[in-house]
Structure 1
Amino acid sequence: MIAAAVFVIFPLCLAIAAFSDLLTMEIPNRASIVLAVAFLGIATLSGMPFVVIGTHLAAAFLVLAVCFVLFALNIMGGGDAKLLAATSLWFGFNPTFFEFLAYVSIIGGIATFVILIIRAQANIILAIGLPVPSSILLAKKIPYGIAIAIGGFFAFPSSPLFLAAIEGLK
């Protein structure tokens, strides 16, 4: 039962956040809330030591603090900040946490570059009638939730809860 929750909740919340960000340039708060609450429930029920849960909380709060500064400077959106912190909660302070952040950074840079190229060609894309979401063409922001989700998907198989769930299935 716990393994099923691990394998469903994390990817589903990230997928919802990514698609919502792509189509509306908004990440629903419920995706971040479900990620955080589900982690706390799953970690407790799986027997994760409270000290380890504390390190996961510390990682999430560190990310949230940095993202809060970026939000205050109008560099990052609030939904991106909340999603990044909630996703970081699933990784904790271990090599997978840094792997996750590296994936998000690299994918975010590539996505930003591609979106800027698409926006530079917006008139051509509109004239041809290519099916590109208008949020990508017209918005001034970058839907970074997509990079957070993809980075989360890439790093997830190395995460502590994923590995514990796999081990529990054996």
Structure 2
Amino acid sequence: MLLQFQALLLAVCPALLIVAALKDATSYTIPNWISLALILAFFPAALAVGLPIGALGGHLAIGAAALVAGMAMFALGWIGGGDAKVFAAAALWLGWPAILPFILVTALAGGALAVGLLAMRSMMLRRYVASGPAWLSRLAEPGENVPYGVAICVGGLVALPGGDLVRLLAAGAPL
């Protein structure tokens, strides 16, 4: 029963990342409640799997560093404010060394997303998208933003299994 409870707590992160990606793709916004829920859910999940206090400090430091990096990317106009916050909240869940694949996969997924949107926004493909739902037509509009929350979600989903929390759950013992 304890294992199922721990797994349920850990499932909050991927579920919220998926919600963030869907919200970003359909509305170009990621509500603050998603980032806040990710942050708040991290603590009971970490406690439930027995994350050592030293590792908890590392997770907090990585989350803070990711927030600073996200704020810098937002200031440069590379990503939106919601993207910066959900990036930091996801980084909090990952810790070291899972943050490295998270950053790499997020960057690669962002590049693939940008290329896909450029293709969808071309004159040849845009007419086919126009008959779809309004949010899809908006994605196909030239000059629109890139919903980078989708890339953050992909990076988080790929990196999460290598993070401390999932490893502790799988091992059933502290690091």
TM-score normalised by structure 1 residue count? 0.89
Q: Is the 8 A contact 2:90 2:156 kept in 1?
A: yes
Query: Does 2:169 correspond to 1:155?
Result: no
Task: State the 1:41 CA deviation.
Answer: 2.0
Q: Which runs of 5+ in 2 are unaligned?
A: none
- CA deviation map 1:88-131 (0-9, x unaligned): 0111122x11011111011110111110111123642256x255
Structure 1 contact 101–151 (Cα < 8 Å) conserved: yes
2:116 alignment counterpart: 114
Contact 2:96 2:163 in 1 (8 A): no
Give the total of aligned pairs: 166
Moved more, 16-25 or 47-56: 47-56
Corresponding residue to 1:56 among 56, 59, 70: 59
Cα pair 1:63 1:85 within 8 Å, conserved: yes
Counterpart in 1 of 2:105?
Answer: 103
Q: State the distance in 1 between where 2:159 and 2:113 align.
A: 18
The question of 1:37 aligning with 2:46 is answered no
* TM-superposed deviation, 1:142: 0.2
Distance 1:123 1:106, change over 3 A: closer
Cα RMSD over matched residues?
1.9
Write the distance in 2 (CA, Å) between the matches of 1:111 and 1:23: 14
TM-score (norm 2): 0.87
Matched residue type, 1:109: G
- Superposed counterparts of 1:9-88, under 5 Å: 9-88=12-91
Using the alignment, how far apart are the partners of 2:24 and 2:53 within structure 1?
A: 33
Question: For structure 1, which runs of at least 5 residues remain unmatched after alignment?
Answer: none
Q: Choose from 145, 148, 155 the match for 1:144.
A: 148
Deviations 1:138-163 (A, max 9, x none): 36210011011111111111111111
Corresponding position: 1:164 with 2:140 = no
In the alignment, the residues of structure 2 paired with residue 45 and residue 162 of structure 1 have an alpha-carbon distance, to the nearest angstrom, of: 11
Residue identity (%)? 33
Once the two structures are TM-superposed, the CA of residue 40 in structure 1 deviates from its matched residue by: 1.7
Deviation of 1:168 (Å) = 2.9
Residue 49 of structure 1 deviates from its aligned partner by 1.8
Q: Distance in 2 between matches of 1:126 and 1:13?
A: 27
Asked if the contact 2:51/2:168 (under 8 Å) is kept, the reply is no
The verdict on how the C-alpha distance between 1:126 and 1:135 changes in structure 2, with shifts beyond 3 A counting, is closer
Equivalent of 1:135, from 119, 138, 160?
138
Contact 1:3 1:166 in 2 (8 A): no
